[in-house]
Structure 1
Amino acid sequence: MANRLLFILLLFLVADVYFYQAIAMLTQISLIRVLYWFPDVLLITGITLAISARRLGRSAQNMMSWLITGMLLAFVPKLFASPILLAEDVFRLFRGFPPRNIYISEATVAVAGIIFLIFLFGLTRGKHFYRIRRETLYFPDLPEAFDGFTITQLSDIHSGSLRDRKGVKKGIELANAQNSDLLLFTGDLVNNMASEMDPWISDFAKLKAPYGKYAVLGNHDYGDYIRWTSSLAKHENLRRLKEIHAELGFNLLLNQSVTLRKQGQSIALIGVENWGKGGFHQYGDLEKALKGVADDSFKILLSHDPSHWDEVTVDHNQHIHLTLAGHTHGLQFGIELFGFKWSPIQYFYRQWAGLYTKDGRYLYVNRGFGYHGLNGRVGVWPEITVLTLKRNEGTIATA
């Protein structure tokens, strides 16, 4: 993973150097040319300092968040506009490399400016540009009483990053407006500390569903990413976070299962603690969570990190029909248009957003309600998922 991050940083820097050729073509003013590199120096210095101090507390993490945002604003528009210069160079190659065309340089800068404005929207309005994503899933062994049963899934609230109460309330109202039978939350209620949720308890407690609200913990909920004064303080933080789940009306599933009943029939709802690969803690215990669950039960699993599905769940001897996850946020940056889907996060996670299937087992990865790291979202918008379960011999249909 570190090598991939280094590659992305090098790609940004190469694009920055390449884009500078358009600036140099358009101006001969030395001050402008020097000022072009000023943001780079500030960002690289700031990121170096933040990385060295990132485990010291929330202030260092907040600084890193703003630096990541600044880096994307500074580099990504140049990265996407630079292919125009590259195309020009292909033609220049066969013409003996004459001077650059000023109009092509102007077009390159204009494209970068448009992309910059799109990013600016994402970093302001995009934080609460909620999208309702609907999927209808078909299962031949779904109990008849649950035919048409609806689930609203939320994930990754990250309350420590939230600032706009009006925007957050809009998302909560949208979730309630779906009138789903069941509401499921797949982890990361906070960034690090339970106290981050205190200002938002009354708002999120308004979430409702007739068959209940259930949740699991995400990797950020354990407080593993900041330095605590003592192990007791860290333990108390987690205890308080579990208490907050109860205040929100969430039934927290900690490597355990519950039975949901309707008209004399039932399905099993299973929740594991966070389990991730690539250095993430593996608190989750699927075997423990499945104790007492009959092999022939229809099973829905809540597991924060989608790598758990890939590494453990999909090949488990018990057939788990549907797994719900979050965690990736779709990196809060990417392109999703007309069925096309791309984000740099796909080079780290095979399952990173939306619906996946293997051997009759399904995984849905929610893109997240909140945001963390990047102070906004660009192209991969915050999500409220609505799943409809249907009893049928057919295949998956997307609404």
Structure 2
Amino acid sequence: MRRSPYIPLLIFALLFFLLNGYAFSALSLVLPTMVLSWLWTLPVALFLAFGYSMIRLSVNGPTNLFKISAHALLIYFVSTLVFVLATVLTDIYRLIVAIVKYFAEGNFSYPERPLTGIYLGVLLSIFIIIAFIYGILKGKYAYRVIKHTLYFEDLPAAFDGFKLVQISDVHAGSLKNPKAVQKGIDLINKQHADLFVFTGDLVNNKAEEIKPYIQHFSKIKAPFGQFSVLGNHDYGDYIKWESDFIKQQNLQQLKNYHAEIGFRLLLDEHVTLEKDGQKLALVGIENWGLGFGERGDLNKALQGTTPKEFKILLSHDPSHWEAQVKNHSSKIQLTLAGHTHGMQFGFEAFGLKWSPVQFRYKHWAGIKQENRRILNVNRGFGFIGFSGRVGIWPEITLIELKKR
């Protein structure tokens, strides 16, 4: 049964307009009443447009009105929130001054609100708006190569210096710029890696979404092959199908498209990579993620391997590493995952790393090492939901394996 959108909308409306009420109370110190009255029409219009399209979503699907209003409302909400946070800091300062004055003089009174906090909030809000506009127009295709050199004591000597490229979360149904996508693929091939791996979510919902991009992704080549696994979106669980049979046909078609692209899809199985008479196991499982379908069977995929054999695991969701992999009796030296996208929004600079997704995932991007095993979480090649990226750019990972 589909949940009613009214209650979530009412809760959001309450929070949204309380936030705006606080913001406009601060702006009233620097703007005329007439200007504020006109400005109030912006959040009201945005909310009404989004609310109407949200209510009609089950009938009309995601219309252009829904997409435009949702993105505009998101930008407005985040920029307003930043403004409010800057203003709150000045109000906390006023409170501290008032308390100190009370204990010193016995007189409790608030000082006037400093205008510097308001001006700072306005500047930060403008910066956020510009960042979101860039993220929508350019950032979602601003591919970055992130390089890691990883050291292992038990790496077979023949694979010392072995390089692999990983991408994840293409979400082909969201891609609208084939030329930009091709630049990302050209960047993949420029790494001249020995092995290419894709860690799931080729599409948003339907297999047909990848058809316009098959010729592009089929250009990815590596000497030791191109391998892939499925992600949670690949199973078509997030839309309504006419029947289970049609849903299964869609999944089978997607598997066929993997083969057409040139990806060897690993479904709870492994393959052996051999170099100069030495071997390592490349293991791939179906999607296993807490809250996103626990389909994969790791033990089945490991059948035929030995506990000490060097293994690379492709597993879409990083929660699988936390739940099963890092303490598994058969050591898996390197796990490659994706799924989180870094929420397509965050901050990574000057040694700092933050994204709202960290409240959901213990490790959401980059390298994590524990129990002499390593996890890499790719930030994603594509995007979904929010049609952009702000601060968390699309990633092509280049990993070099080194023997310690």
TM-score (norm 2): 0.88
Q: 1:167 Cα deviation (Å)?
A: 1.2
Q: Which residue of 1 aligns with 2:180?
A: 167
Identity of aligned residues (%): 47
1:362 to 360, 374, 377: 374
Q: Is the 8 A contact 2:317 2:338 kept in 1?
A: yes
For residue 22 of structure 1, report the CA deviation from its aligned partner. Answer: 3.2
Provide the rounded CA distance (Å) in 1 between the counterparts of 2:211 and 2:173: 10
- Unpaired runs of 5+ residues, structure 1, are 1-5, 393-399
Matches within 5 A, 1:13-28: 15-28=19-32
Q: What amino acid is aligned across from residue 351 of structure 1 in structure 2?
A: H
2:284 alignment counterpart: 271
2:376 maps to 1:327: no
Deviation at 1:120, TM superposition (A): 1.1
CA drift of 1:295 comes to 1.9
5+ residue gaps in structure 2? 1-9, 99-108
String of CA shifts for 1:133-184, please: whole Å, max 9, x gaps.
1111110010000000001000000000001122111111111101100000
Q: How does 1:103-252 map to 2 (within 5 A)?
A: 104-252=117-265
Distance 2:33 2:349 in 1: 40
Which position in structure 1 is the counterpart of 2:102? none
CA deviation after TM superposition for structure 1 residue 322, in Å: 0.5
1:49: how far off?
5.2
Q: Aligned equivalents of 1:41 and 1:300: distance in 2?
A: 51
Paired with 2:331 and 2:320, the residues of 1 have a C-alpha distance of 15
SS of equivalent to 2:29: helix
If you compute each CA radius of gyration, which structure gives the higher value, 1 or 2?
2
Deviates most, 102-111 or 225-234: 102-111
Contact 2:338 2:378 in 1 (8 A): yes
**Deviation, structure 1 residue 129:** 1.0
Q: Per-residue deviation at 1:327?
A: 0.3
Specify whether residues 328 and 64 from structure 1 end up closer, same or farther in structure 2 by C-alpha distance, changes over 3 A only: farther
User: Which whole-Å CA distance do the structure 1 matches of 2:80 and 2:307 have between them?
Assistant: 54
Q: Pick closer, same or farther for the CA change 1:168–1:51 going to 2, 3 Å.
A: farther
* Whole-angstrom distance in 2 between the partners of 1:10 and 1:185: 42
Greater mean deviation of Cα atoms: 209-218 or 45-54: 45-54
Does the CA contact (< 8 Å) of 1:12 and 1:79 recur in 2?
A: no
Give the equivalent residue in structure 2 for 1:395: none
Query: Post-superposition shift, 1:106?
Result: 3.2
Q: Aligned partner of 1:24: which letter?
A: S
CA distance in 1, matches of 2:204, 2:119: 42
The 8 Å contact of residues 50 and 73 in structure 2, kept in 1 or not, is answered as no
Matches of 2:185 and 2:38 in 1, distance apart? Answer: 47
Relative to the length of structure 1, the TM-score reads 0.89
**Residue in structure 2 matched with residue 301 of structure 1 by the alignment:** 313
1:336 aligns with 2:340: no
The offset of 1:379, in angstroms, is 0.4
- Report the Cα distance in structure 1 between the residues aligned to 2:67 and 2:357, rounded to whole angstroms: 17
Are 1:50 and 1:63, in contact at CA under 8 Å, matched by a contact in 2? Answer: no
Note the C-alpha offset of 1:16: 3.5
Q: CA deviation at 1:110?
A: 2.3
Who is 1:384 aligned against?
396
Instruction: Compute the displacement of 1:118 (Å).
Output: 1.4
**Cα distance, 1:358 vs structure 2:** 1.0
- SS of equivalent residue, structure 2 residue 279: strand
1:236-285 CA distance string (max 9 Å, x none): 1111100000011000000110000111011000000001112x111111
Q: 1:7 Cα shift?
A: 10
2:270 maps to amino acid? S
Q: 1:103 to 1:315 in 2, by over 3 A?
A: closer
Instruction: State the alpha-carbon separation in 2 of the partners of residues 288 and 127 from structure 1.
Output: 37
CA contact (8 A) 1:64 1:373 kept: no
Q: Cα 1:319–1:341, aligned 2, differ >3 Å: closer, same or farther?
A: same
